[in-house]
Structure 1
Amino acid sequence: MALDEESPLIEADGNESIIINHGRDIHILSWAFLLIFLAYGAAQNLQSTLNTDGDLGTISLGILYTSFTVSSLFASTVVRKLGSKYALLLGTTGYWLYIAANLKPFWYTMVPASLYLGFAAAILWVGEGTYLTSTARSQASDHKLHEATVIGHFNGEFWGIFACHQVVWKSLTLALLKDGAEGSTSGTTLLFTVFLVSMTLGTILMSFLKKRDGEETEGERDLSVGLYAFLVSLWKQVVTPLCDVRLLLVVPLIAFSGLQQAFVWAELTKYYVQPSLGESGVGGAMAVYGVFDAICSLTAGRFTSGLTSITLIVSGGAVLEGGIFIWLLNYSEPTGVLRILYPLLIAAVLGIGDGVLMTQLNALLAMLFKHNMEGTFAQLKLWQSASIAVVFFLSPYISLQAMLLFMLAAVVLSLVGFLFLVLKVEKVFTSHVS
């Protein structure tokens, strides 16, 4: 049965009832995130060129990811208390405030907005992972489908549509800031006003999500908990998962996914795209990155059906990315048509790598850790955001060659840890997903 087919009416004790197609909620979730992140993605990438006074833009991003990392420690507790739908709605408020602050970018607006966005982003992403996974499980249960396959398909759709924001935001930016008008007050005001509208539409769309049944156990929706209860919950959600050898073996892969994203943002455009294609070519290269990211996410999601498929897809992606880093260690700026093709090829391969990692990591964690989704996805964002911060902090102080060696070592370590999980802990995995 196809995931998007409407299910027939069935009889239950003489009364007709409908088997719900939960794919509707994934469509809504995916398009809401696209509307929200086409605005935020542009705002993030424009910080270093728009808010240059005292490096306000760059510093605000550093504050944001530091707050994101710290907030990931207790995001799972907040999501568990609110429920994933209301956590998603709460999370959008931070992105809305951050975009609004960019209309008047001063220290007293950007710093508080960045701090709050770090908190809201942690809530949003833990809520997303929890909501998508519970929706996939409901779909598999109601339609008698293979759970791992549904989780893979839903993750593929979500990350495929989400990756399109990298293409859409660049198109909007080029249209509204044409002729190099990034310094124009009227141009940037119009741009961020459009982004606010997009962000608002995304939040409204998200409000149509159905609440997921069975997310909370009895009493968990009581928000008036004491400090002791909060600390106990925090320990269970954050520290306890790290006692599980399966998570420890996946952490290097999670960390590498963050390192890879930050490498694209901080190094790819600076050292490979801009020297060959110029400033105007950066947008095109990032569009290529986004297109291949989206295509790979959709494709990888369709082929995900369990541990074996995840192993093959992740291994292929890791080998591909490792090959790119080895190539870049000996890279020399080409001439002729290769001067254009090589940077686009690098962007395409890294886009494929990101599509592989995001779909497969989320599917893997959803299948491995059924009973602590919030805590597991909090670990995902904790290690990803911390890794992103590491690249941003290291980048000004180490050479490109050192960064490439660091990335190559990270991909090798992450693949070894993942394969060890597959080989040595497969029986534990099978008992948890069967």
Structure 2
Amino acid sequence: MSPESKKLFNIIILGIAFMFIFTAFQTCGNVAQTVIRSLNSTDFHGSGYTSMAIIYGVFSASNLITPSVVAIVGPQLSMFASGLFYSMYIAVFIQPFPRSFYTASVFIGIAAAVLWTAQGNCLTINSDEHTIGRNSGIFWALLQFSLFFGNLYIYFAWQGKTQISESDRRTVFIALTVISLVGTVLFFLIRKPDSENVLGEDESSDDQDLDINESPQSNMTKAVDAFKKSLKLCVTKEMLLLSITTAYTGLELTFFSGVYGTCIGAINKFGTEEKSLIGLSGIFIGIGEILGWFKKNLH
């Protein structure tokens, strides 16, 4: 396999792995509050909204240190470990307890920061200035299919349901946990690319990946440098301006990934279709995401 083919293979595997993991996680987030409402009549008392607040709050704070973590561990192992925490969070819903539920929310917030930092690293080292646009497009196209497939499953699994029984909940979340684990294992198929023509490379080795054969002291030095660079990047003009758009997309994400589906599932006028319509709304959001990608990349 040629070096370019190997890099393209890595990008495709990266996209498919994320598609599996986020098929599980985004579906979980879409139905979490609806499922929890069916549990609050028992000994479980929790909130999907509180969980999401914990996840994204920890996610935001952890982004400052994750470049150092990825620098020490490497992108492949970082993504694999993060995927395990995503699977753990989803598995909590099989038999949820408030303490484990909120503890898993903290861990997945940290894991999310590591996962996306490692994804960016993996995308970069498998691209050059000529292929970065293509590779980013392939990755995001595959990722957006996660909204479609996961919610399609919910639509058919919950058809005719007005209440989510214990059996319904366990069946769905066991399936989602397995799907997430499949995506996590796929990270091991990513191969180390040749070091030639990697985007952002220069003659110095300051920004290159860590070598596992280097001394711990050398690796720690590079990790500290990565942390310092992330702090400097936070206060640049470009990042401060970008944070405005990021804040808006965060509000939008909160609405369509957690609030909107829950509201649909609580409308009694929909009758026996109210729960399956959560999945249907997610399907159309996924279709919109996919069509938006095609419009952007084909014009």
Bin of the TM-score, shorter chain as denominator length: 0.7 to 0.9
Q: Distance in 1 between matches of 2:215 and 2:96?
A: 35
Q: Does residue 1:95 correspond to 2:95, yes or no?
A: no
In the TM superposition, 1:108-147 aligns within 5 A as 108-137=99-128, 147=129
Tell me, yes or no, if the aligned pair for 2:74 and 2:209 is still in contact at 8 Å.
no
Matched, 1:38 2:38: no
Q: Which residue of 2 aligns with 1:285?
A: 281
Kept in 2: contact 1:81–1:222 (CA 8 A): no
Distance 1:223 1:290 in 2: 46
Aligned residue pairs, count: 276
Looking at structure 2, the residues matched to 178 and 273 of structure 1 have their Cα atoms a distance apart, in angstroms, of: 12
AA aligned opposite 1:292: G
Give the corresponding residue for 1:183. Answer: 164
Residues 272 and 204 of structure 1: CA distance in aligned 2, closer, same or farther (over 3 Å): closer
- Supply the distance in 2 between the matched residues of 1:218 and 1:203 (Cα, whole angstroms): 22
User: Which amino acid counterpart does residue 198 of structure 1 have in structure 2?
Assistant: I
- Alpha-carbon distance between aligned partners in 1 of 2:213 and 2:238, rounded to the nearest angstrom: 29
Instruction: Work out the percentage of aligned pairs sharing the same amino acid.
Output: 23
> Deviations 1:149-177 (Å, cap 9, x if unpaired)?
x2222222211121111111111112333
Return closer, same or farther for 1:60/1:242 CA change in 2, 3 Å cut-off.
closer
Mapped contact 1:36–1:198 kept (Cα < 8 A): yes
TM-score under structure 2 normalisation? 0.80
Q: Tell me how large the CA RMSD over aligned residues is.
A: 3.1
State the Cα distance separating 1:26 from its structure 2 match.
Answer: 1.3
Q: CA deviation at 1:20?
A: 3.5
Provide the rounded CA distance (Å) in 1 between the counterparts of 2:223 and 2:187. 30
Q: Structure 1 residue 268: deviation in Å?
A: 4.9
Give the secondary structure class of the aligned counterpart of 2:208.
coil
In structure 1, what residue type is equivalent to 2:190? L
SS at match of 2:94: coil
Partners of 1:169 and 1:253 in 2: how far apart?
A: 27
Distance in 1, Cα, partners of 2:211 & 2:20: 34
Partner of 2:198: none
Tell me the SS of whatever aligns to 2:174: helix
Instruction: Find the counterpart in structure 1 of residue 8 from structure 2.
Output: 23
Q: Name the TM-score, length of structure 1 as normaliser.
A: 0.57
Unaligned runs of 5+ in 1: 1-5, 7-17, 138-146, 304-434
- The Cα offsets for residues 206-226 of structure 1, whole Å up to 9 and x where unpaired, read as 210013455735668768459
Judged with a 3 Å threshold, the aligned counterparts in structure 2 of structure 1 residues 110 and 128 are, in CA distance, closer, same or farther, namely same
Structure 2: which 5+ runs fail to align?
Answer: 196-206
In 2, the alpha carbon distance for the partners of 1:271 and 1:189 equals 22
Kindly provide the amino acid, as one letter, of the partner of residue 196 in structure 1.
T
Residues 221, 96 of structure 1: CA spacing in aligned structure 2 closer, same or farther, 3 A cutoff?
farther
CA distance in 1, matches of 2:65, 2:215: 14
- Indicate conservation of the 8 Å contact 2:58/2:109, yes or no: yes
Code of the aligned partner of 2:288: F
Task: Give the secondary-structure state (helix, strand or coil) at the position aligned to 1:73.
Answer: coil
Aligned: 1:82 with 2:67: no
Residue equivalent to 2:239: 247
**Do the aligned partners of 1:159 and 1:298 also contact (CA within 8 Å) in 2?**
no
Question: What is the alpha-carbon distance in structure 1 between the residues aligned to residue 293 and residue 13 of structure 2?
Answer: 17
Partner of 1:10: none
Change (3 A) 1:76 1:103: same
AA aligned opposite 1:236: K
- CA distance in 2 between partners of 1:186 and 1:24 (Å): 39
1:330-373, Cα deviation, whole Å (9 max, x unpaired): xxxxxxxxxxxxxxxxxxxxxxxxxxxxxxxxxxxxxxxxxxxx
**Matched AA of 1:49:** T
Change (3 A) 1:212 1:250: farther
Kindly provide the amino acid, as one letter, of the partner of residue 197 in structure 1: V
CA shift in 2, pair 1:151/1:300, >3 Å: farther
Contact 2:29 2:258 in 1 (8 A): no
Which residue does 1:259 correspond to in 2? 251
Q: 2-side partners of 1:133 and 1:261: how far apart?
A: 25
Decide which structure has the larger Cα Rg and report it. Answer: 1
